[in-house]
Structure 1
Amino acid sequence: MPTLRVELFEGRTPEQKAELAKELTAACVRVLGGSPDAVDVVFFDIARQNWATGGVLWSDKQK
């Protein structure tokens, strides 16, 4: 089964991550079959100054 890598800006709560992990796991089981125990979800919290879109850091977009 899959390992899902989720990259997002830091600041999400543990509760939000738990809910997302639950939903992503359920979707994998529904679509791919298998057991929920075989689905891994790994969260990567990225600081806004470490992510750019269109050549502009997200930390600069908030100003």
Structure 2
Amino acid sequence: MPYVNIKITNDGATKEQKRQLVAGVTELLVNILGKNPATTVVVIDEVETDNWGIGGELVTDRRKRSI
């Protein structure tokens, strides 16, 4: 039973985009590894940008600076 955990920031992915991610990841596992789609689990965790750091700083701060 494959388990895939996708972590993204919580600032914009629509329900349809998340639906496409789940379907696409499942399809990849079926096509490439021959996994059973009925037992493939995909979880999307949406993380606040204040709780995600890149290069020693919060994503929130990086995005404010690049505006």
TM-score w.r.t. structure 1 length? 0.92
- Shift in CA distance, 36/54, structure 1 to aligned 2, threshold 3 Å: same
CA RMSD of aligned residues (A): 0.9
CA distance in structure 1 between the partners assigned to 2:35 and 2:61 by the alignment: 43
Counterpart of 1:8 in structure 2 is 8
CA distance in structure 2 between the partners assigned to 1:34 and 1:56 by the alignment: 38
Residue identity opposite 1:39 in structure 2: T
CA distances 1:3-47 after superposition (whole Å, capped 9, x unpaired)? 000000113111100001100000001111132111100010001
SS of structure 2 residue aligned to 1:44? strand
Unaligned runs of 5+ in 1: none
Counterpart of 2:45 in structure 1 is 44
TM-score w.r.t. structure 2 length? 0.87
Q: Aligned pair count?
A: 63
Shift >2 Å, 4+ stretches: none
